[in-house]
């Protein structure tokens, strides 16, 4: 099903396009016909409308007009009565399900949700003149019978948001804003829902996954569809997540794997419209501060477990180390030059032919991979390997995967694409794939790079019985889980290195930011993306330091390094050279200084990682995540907190050594020169020895360790605590 565009393979879908077609039928909620106060279930009467072309003053518009049923036999009501249900998870979380069909789907086995989600009916109910009201200690929801509406309020009775009915419109066009509705497509009779909510004039929206556009999504239209973004400066996303939070004090998670389009005041400034390809709107609503919202969202979809200690060290990589000799040479030089490092990553060149992933080391270039891995382990290095879940026709695994029925096919029985794409909804296929990885993990490989995963074919038929319309976005989640599970079962370490994701993927860390351009803008977009993903419950995140696409310009690489090292996970990767000794002597000195900074901070990083993991918080945090009461903090997208005690401001402009920095509440101390700054003000701050602004909350106690070459050498009994 292709909704818009040029019909190119894996093009993002714009669901809202179905809501503008004259040939479709539209149904808008008119009133509540029944409601059971014990089960919180009821029915909504949906009035039928059509769009009709109207000409006025030399302009054509297509407003809604009342319509009657015109089907045969006469069995289809003009005002169908369809189910809805409310559940209460806790004092800050409720679940609203509204169906355009005769029943509400059972979601007990959803892989997006945690198995232990419980529902607490501890909200008090009150009958009102207009309907029903439910309230907890921290929130309330009012259901208005006619015209149908839902209002969400905080503990003080302040309206946070409400649904928008056609009778609420104050515009000259009754379709602006788009009212809460569902559409029945004339093309295929599929039904899609538009959940329309109000936006206040100054409201800001954040989240939606690893989005590279402006951090505040107000005014944007966001398509939730995993795609190989081929960079970090477009609307496309490797990791779309159907969750967002508002500066007004609420958040929403759309529990579906169907494609979605979020219109955050893009079409009509007052309206936040969630267009879902699903025929049931399954919406979790959260209230509170950003921390409270995110903590409750991750209570439902899961939190990131702690990755192993070694993963927080430097990962040294490029495209690509191609031989045992080259790998050993890099390892030796890292140690000889006293550069701390924990991981050497082998990308696309460890097979006999580059990119042809057959899960076997090249026999001509790797004499004894098992001994190489063992020797490097003795030196304190872990080995990470690249691979992907697509097999080209020249790959010897291609035929085996097809013959065993482990690949995605089209509904006509042919292959869905040119490549054999593993069907992770097939348990046998997943176990077969895990066995391929298992052979590598058993010889000492520590981590698997789960690259790609965004290309599950839309037109494919999957073992689950569903099409790519529902399986496309689930593919990264299934893929992440498969790699994580086999790695943890064999090595004991829960870790992957993944590019694609969907809601729930945060349970399988770590994810990195894709193929960043080697530009100042690429660096800034990477930070926005990391902050945005963090606001969706991903505690741990990384990116390609210095950019991926071309050789990193030395000046840019130098400024990017401290940003990359003051991130939970740090990898130098991309077009060679990436090794510091391939640049100037001064660059290598600076490189070593900033890597030593991260290793020195490792006790602080592990302390903050544990807190983040336990609460569902990100390691990279927006300023408003820590200071939501500060209105300026909601405007900042080029600074961040690294944990709760360090405020970081990278330098994004070429050949500059200072920048404007907003300091939040309190007093903050420059980590490098100990100068103090009073909070809630702007300053122009000069970077000191390391080209970044790094501030510490005054009074904070930061633990440090002695210099080491890898995390295995840290003496945890000899930690120095420094009060600032």
Active site residues: 451, 454, 515
Q: How far apart are the first and last CA of the chain?
A: 58
- Decide if 457 contacts 468 (C-beta within 8 A): yes
Residue 462 exposure: Cα atoms within 13 Å on the Cβ side: 24
Q: Which residues, in sequence order, are bridge partners of residue 658?
A: 686
Classify burial at 432, counting beta carbons within 10 Å of its beta carbon; exposed 0-12, middle 13-18, buried 19 or more. Answer: middle
Handedness of CA 199, 99, 178, 141 (dihedral sign): negative
**Cβ partners under 8 Å of residue 25, min gap 6:** 48, 49, 50, 67, 183, 184, 186
Query: Rounded to an integer, what distance in angstroms lies between the CA atom of residue 7 and that of residue 135?
Result: 47
Dihedral in degrees, nearest 10, Cα atoms 101, 107, 111, 114:
140
Q: Which two tokens stand for residue 709?
A: 């070459």
3-state secondary structure of 437: helix
Query: Rounded to an integer, what distance in angstroms lies between the CA atom of residue 119 and that of residue 262?
Result: 27
Dihedral in degrees, nearest 10, Cα atoms 174, 176, 177, 178:
80
Handedness of CA 544, 549, 555, 556 (dihedral sign): negative
**What's the full length of the chain, in residues?**
724
Q: Which residues, in sequence order, are bridge partners of residue 162?
A: 151
Please calculate the CA angle 251-42-73 and round it to the nearest 5 degrees: 115
Strands (E), 303-434: 314-316, 343-346, 382-387, 390-391, 409-410, 420-421
Closest CA to 508 of 536, 489, 485: 485
Closest CA to 595 of 328, 313, 310: 313
Closest CA to 612 of 291, 297, 341: 291
- Decide if 5 contacts 236 (C-beta within 8 A): no
- Decide if 679 contacts 663 (C-beta within 8 A): yes
């Amino acid at each position: 099903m292709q909704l818009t565009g040029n019909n190119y393979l894996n093009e993002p879908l714009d669901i809202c396009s179905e809501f503008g077609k004259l040939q479709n039928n539209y149904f808008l909620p008119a009133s509540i016909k029944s409601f059971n106060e014990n089960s919180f279930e009821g029915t909504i009467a949906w009035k039928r409308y059509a769009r009709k072309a109207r000409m006025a003053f030399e302009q054509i518009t297509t407003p809604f007009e009342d319509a009657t049923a015109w089907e045969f036999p006469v069995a289809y009501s003009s005002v169908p009565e369809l189910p809805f249900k409310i559940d209460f998870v806790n004092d800050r979380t409720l679940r609203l399900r509204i169906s355009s069909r005769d029943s509400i789907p059972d979601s007990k086995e959803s892989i997006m949700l945690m198995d232990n989600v419980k529902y607490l009916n501890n909200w008090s109910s009150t009958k009102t003149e207009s309907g029903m009201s439910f309230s907890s200690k921290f929130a309330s929801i009012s259901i208005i019978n006619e015209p149908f509406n839902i209002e969400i309020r905080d503990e003080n009775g302040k309206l946070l948001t409400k649904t928008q009915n056609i009778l609420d419109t104050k515009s000259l066009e009754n379709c602006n804003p788009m009212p809460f509705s569902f559409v029945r497509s004339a093309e295929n009779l599929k039904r899609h829902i538009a959940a329309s909510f109000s936006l206040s004039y100054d409201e800001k929206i954040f989240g939606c996954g690893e989005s590279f556009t402006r951090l505040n999504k107000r005014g944007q239209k966001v398509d939730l569809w995993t795609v190989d973004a081929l960079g970090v400066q477009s609307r496309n996303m490797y990791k779309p997540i159907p969750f967002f939070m508002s500066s007004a004090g609420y958040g929403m998670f759309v529990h579906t794997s169907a494609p979605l389009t979020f219109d955050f005041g893009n079409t009509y400034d007052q309206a936040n419209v969630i267009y879902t390809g699903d025929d049931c709107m399954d919406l979790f609503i959260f209230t509170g501060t950003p921390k409270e919202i995110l903590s409750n969202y991750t209570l439902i979809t899961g939190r990131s477990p702690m990755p192993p200690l070694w993963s927080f060290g430097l990962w040294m990589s490029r495209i690509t180390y191609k031989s045992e000799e080259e790998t050993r040479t890099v390892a030796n030089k890292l140690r000889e030059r006293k550069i701390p490092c924990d991981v050497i990553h082998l990308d696309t060149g460890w097979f006999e032919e580059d990119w042809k992933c057959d899960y076997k080391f090249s026999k001509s270039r790797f004499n004894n991979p098992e001994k190489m891995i063992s020797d490097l382990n003795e030196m304190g290095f872990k080995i990470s390997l690249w691979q992907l879940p697509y097999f080209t026709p020249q790959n010897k695994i291609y035929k085996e995967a097809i013959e065993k029925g482990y690949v995605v096919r089209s509904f006509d029985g042919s292959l869905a694409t040119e490549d054999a794409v593993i069907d992770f909804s097939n348990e046998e296929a997943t176990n077969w794939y895990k066995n391929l990885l298992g052979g590598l993990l058993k010889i000492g490989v520590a981590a698997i790079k789960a690259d790609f995963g965004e290309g599950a074919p839309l037109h494919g038929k999957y073992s689950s019985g569903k099409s790519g319309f529902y399986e496309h976005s689930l593919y990264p989640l299934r893929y992440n889980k498969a790699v994580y599970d086999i790695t943890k079962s064999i090595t004991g370490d829960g870790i992957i290195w993944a590019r694609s994701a969907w809601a729930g993927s945060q349970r399988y860390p770590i994810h990195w930011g894709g193929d960043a351009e080697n530009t100042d803008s690429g660096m800034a977009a990477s930070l926005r993306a990391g902050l945005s993903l963090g606001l969706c419950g991903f505690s741990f995140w990384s990116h390609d330091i210095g950019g991926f696409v071309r050789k990193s310009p030395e000046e840019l690489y130098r400024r990017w390094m401290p940003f990359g090292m003051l991130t939970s996970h740090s990898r130098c990767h991309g077009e060679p050279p990436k090794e510091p000794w391939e640049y100037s002597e001064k660059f290598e000195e600076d490189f070593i200084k900033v890597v030593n900074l991260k290793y020195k901070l490792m006790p602080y990083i592990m302390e903050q990682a544990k807190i983040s993991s336990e609460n569902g918080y990100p390691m990279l945090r927006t300023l408003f995540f820590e200071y939501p009461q500060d209105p300026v903090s909601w405007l900042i997208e080029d600074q961040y907190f690294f944990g709760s005690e360090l405020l970081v401001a990278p330098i994004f402009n070429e050949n500059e050594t200072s920048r404007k920095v907003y300091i939040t509440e309190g007093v903050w101390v420059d980590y490098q020169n100990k100068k103090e700054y009073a909070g809630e003000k702007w300053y122009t701050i000069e970077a000191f020895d390391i080209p970044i602004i790094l501030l510490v909350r005054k009074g904070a106690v930061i633990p440090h360790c002695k210099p080491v070459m890898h995390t295995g050498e840290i003496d945890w009994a000899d930690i120095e605590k420094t009060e600032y």
